[in-house]
Amino acid sequence: MITVSVLYPNKEGARFDMTYYLAKHIPMVKKVLGSALKGVTVEQGVGGGAPGSKAEYSTICHLRFDSVQSFQASFGPNAEAIQKDVPNYSSIPPIVQISEVKLS
Amino acid sequence: MITVSVLYPNKEGARFDMTYYLAKHIPMVKKVLGSALKGVTVEQGVGGGAPGSKAEYSTICHLRFDSVQSFQASFGPNAEAIQKDVPNYSSIPPIVQISEVKLS
């Protein structure tokens, strides 16, 4: 199992529209990725590790796939449609990383 | 439900011992946090979003709790023991953030 993490930096002045993200973007992503997508989690940053500190990321999204191959096969043909929607809810591009799930 | 994300930067030359982390650190964390900990996920970074790019984080760990209060009550008295173990598996301190789960 792999996770594709999409991390939106919590930069000063950065805009992130959680309402649009949950109501429009995520449903579109789920639709185009179809059965290759095994699960999706969306988290909203509320704070850092130290009391009163800022969260590093305003939003963290995790997408689960069986394998890197399965992610690439489903994401590749839809990459443009997914990426074209980002400016509709975020003023900054996310950091993306692929991870192998070691414990779940 | 909240998530405490612990992100270990994938810096040049940084050491991270996944074997120790899974065999010793995580079991210790689970033991001291007890029933307040609702779930734990460990992921190992394998690459960035662009083909051939490096993962931003060598390891990402997610800890689930019912609330920030429940996290603080269980983590607070054990913070020193948990943090003292970090140098046993990582040469760099992690980034920590608390997030509210919006979709799961």
A63: nearest CA partner in chain B: B104
* pLDDT at residue A101 greater than cutoff 90: yes
| CB of A43 closer than 8 Å to CB of B100 | yes
B31-67 pLDDT per residue, tens: 999 999 999 999 999 999 888 999 999 999 999 999 9
Neighbouring C-alpha atoms within 13 Å toward the C-beta of B26: 21
Does residue A86 sit at the B interface (CB-CB below 8 Å)? no
Q: Please tell me the predicted confidence (pLDDT) of residue A64.
A: 98
Q: Please tell me the predicted confidence (pLDDT) of residue B49.
A: 87
Does residue A18 sit at the B interface (CB-CB below 8 Å)? yes
Question: pTM of the full predicted structure?
Answer: 0.96
Does residue A55 sit at the B interface (CB-CB below 8 Å)? yes
Query: Cβ B98–A22 below 8 Å, yes or no?
Result: no
Q: Average model confidence (pLDDT) for chain B?
A: 97
pLDDT band at A15 (very low <50, low <70, confident <90, very high): very high
Return the structure tokens found at A69: 């191959």
Find chain B residues with C-beta within 8 A of A47's C-beta.
68, 97-98
Is the ipTM higher than 0.90? The answer is yes
